[in-house]
Structure formats: C-alpha cells, structure tokens
Amino acid sequence: MCPWGIRPRRAGAVLVPYQRLYPVPPWLDGRSEPQLEPKPTLPQLLQQRPYPKPQSELLAFRASELGARALGCVIGSALADAAAMGVHWVYDLALMDEIERERRLLAAASASPSSQSSDCLSSVCCSGEHPFAYGLEFMEPPRSPFYSYSSGRNSPYGEQTLVLLRSLAEGAGGGEEAGASGGSTAMASAPGLHCGHYASLFAETFGPASGFDGYRDVSTKGFLRNYGRGIPPPLSGANDAQANCVARLAPLAAAFAASAFVYPSAGSSGEPPHSIGSGVSSGIPLATVGGAAAEVAPRNGDLFLHCVELATRVTQNTDAAVAWASAGAVVLERLLLGSSAEAAVRHVVQDLESPQGTAVRQGRPLHAV
C-alpha cells in the first residue's frame, strides 16, 4: 500500500492524470450554417419508448465566434455570481419575498417619499435613486445567513471559480511532470488544466497563511485539511457534493468545450489516452473541418468531461459531485454552442433517462437521481 491507501499497481493510474498538463485546444470551427433537425415536442418525447439516443445540434459558429461566446460565458458567470451573492444560501422562500418587498419599499421611498401606495409597491416601474425597484440582484446589504460580504463581491463559489480560471490561464505554472523514463521534464507554461497546479493555487488562495478573509465552505475546509497533510489530488478532495461542483464550470467550458481536438476512441478500458489526439470517432457530428466531417469523440473519451471530472475531484472527490458537474457541463456546452436554456436542459434530461445516452458518461448509476 502507498501512504494514501492505494495499491501500488493502481497508484499511477489514479494519481498520474492529476499531474499532467491538458493544454487548451483550439476551437472547432463551423464554417457554414447547417440545417438543424427539427426538435421533437415534449409529448413526442414522452411517447417514445425506449428513449432514442439523444441527438446533438450541429455547430454553426466560427472559432472566433466561439471564442467570444466563451469569454462571455466566463464574464457572465462572474457577474451573475456577484449579483446573486446577496441572497446566497437563503433557502426560505417567504424570506426571499420579504427581502424583495423591502427593496420595493426603498425604491418607492426614493421615487416619492410622500407616496408609497400599494400600486407602486407592486409595480415593476418604480424608479429613483435606489438602483433596483424589484428583484434581488446585488442586494444591499447582503442577506446571506452564512457569511458577510460587501455587495458586489463574488460569493465563495465565485471566488473558487476565479481560482480555477487563474490556474487554467497559468497552465502548469512552469512545473515539471514525470517523463517516460521516470525522470522529470520541464513543461512549458501553456494554458490548460494541471490539477497539481490547481490544487497548489487553491491552497495558496484559501489556506491559513493566505490572508483570505472570506468564507471557507465544507469542501474547501476538507480539501485544505487533506492537502495540508500532503495528500495529493484526487485524494485531496473532500467528501462533498454541494453545488460548487456546478458553479465552477464556466472556465472549464471556455477552455475545453467543443474543442477541435478530440480523444481517439477510448476502447474497452473507457480511459482517455495520455495525449490529445485529432482522430475522428463515431460521436456527435458538430462541424466541417478541412473539408471532412469532424466529430466530438464519444462522451466516454471526451476531453471536456474528462477535465471536468479531474478538476472536480481535486476539491470534491465523490462520484455524486462528478455526476452533477458532468450533467451541468453538458448543459453549459450546449448553451455555448447556441442552444436555448430549455432545449439544453431537455437534451440532458433525455440523455440521462435514455439507456443509449452518451452525453453524460460519468455517474451512470446516479442518472436516475
């Protein structure tokens, strides 16, 4: 047994993928506007037994457009997180209604101190010095019952997301990885996922010597406890499956979703190869590259979901966290490719319910849940 309870023969298979750099590949480029198959209606879907294998929409974006959408994905994630922080972890819906009513009262008072009629309170047209007449965005003061942040600061989930974003931008951080002969070879500091660097940066940002003045949630505390004892990823991850596994997905989607390079077929082992290949396999057709149909590899060998699992297990090493993150990743990828939110969610639900579903490989025993 190695110090972390892994049999020596399995230690390499478990630990090595977390010490390898997965470079950010170029975007898959869709040069034309292909005809999309009409989507079945919900009654049609419900009448189909067994569920058919889910179909994907064809990619119609140029690589430059995907790059712009990826940037919007990351900025939108950070902005939405900051906007929602003021009512983060407020689970009482009646309290949420009361908080909004208070905001409407403030807006009404700013607009007309002498007139605070019920009509004004129920109207979405109230205006004045107060920034919002209704809604709960950028709540001032923030009302989270678990921590006290200034309005506009990212939530703990958002702060974790920004650490992942920084790690992806820095790549290996100039580190080293084991060579084929057992020695070490210097790695170029190319953008990409390197879980060793991500874990180190996470500990540096939130650890006891970091000067971090914010809230450390359960998974962060569990990770810091394990990592501080010298336990490497993925064993550094806490026994946790809360929603930060989904909230952190935007940087990963920007880096790896709908990439032009795919893993070759994974084969019977179901494990991706050690390097990114450019082979085409029988997956979901997405675009035309170089005059030939290009495809995203079947989801059992997909680079994006592979990286989602690796990054998730660094801080949340549970099958449930990986399952939730993978399902959320597929939704986000389809949004990035131009799908509506409703269509993206329905696609993933259909895939999870279908025995032939391939979009969400990870966590198959949890798909019914």
Model's pTM, two decimal places? 0.74
Q: Where are the beta strands (DSSP E) in 35-179?
A: 176-178
Query: Looking at beta carbons, which pairs linking 335-341 to residues 24 or more positions away fall under 8 Å?
Result: 335/73, 336/66, 336/69, 336/70, 336/73, 336/253, 336/257, 336/258, 337/57, 337/59, 337/61, 337/66, 337/257, 337/258, 337/286, 338/57, 338/60, 338/61, 339/57
Strand partners, 186: 176
Peptide bond preceding 141 in cis form (omega within 30 of 0): yes
Q: Cα 77 from chain centroid?
A: 10
Q: Per-domain residue ranges for the chain?
A: 8-87+152-366, 90-143
Which pLDDT belongs to residue 268?
A: 34
Residue 180 has pLDDT above 50, yes or no: no
Q: Is the pLDDT of residue 80 over 70?
A: yes
Q: Look at residue 328 in the predicted model and tell me its pLDDT.
A: 94
pLDDT confidence bin for 149, thresholds 50/70/90: very high
- Average model confidence (pLDDT) for the chain? 76
Assess whether pLDDT exceeds 90 at residue 77: yes
Distance CA 79, CA 90 (A): 19
In three-state secondary structure terms, 188 is coil
pLDDT band at 298 (very low <50, low <70, confident <90, very high): very low
Q: Which CATH number fits domain 8-87+152-366: 1.10.3470, 1.20.120, 1.10.4080, 3.30.420?
A: 1.10.4080
Q: Please state, in angstroms and rounded to a whole number, the distance separating the CA atoms of residues 360 and 8.
A: 30
d(CA 100, CA 145): 16
Cis peptide before 234 (omega within 30 of 0): yes
pLDDT of residue 114: 58
What pLDDT, on a 0 to 100 scale, did the predictor assign at position 178?
A: 40
Residue labelled with tokens 């058919």: 52
Quick one: CA torsion of 279, 282, 284, 285, rounded to 10 degrees?
Answer: 70
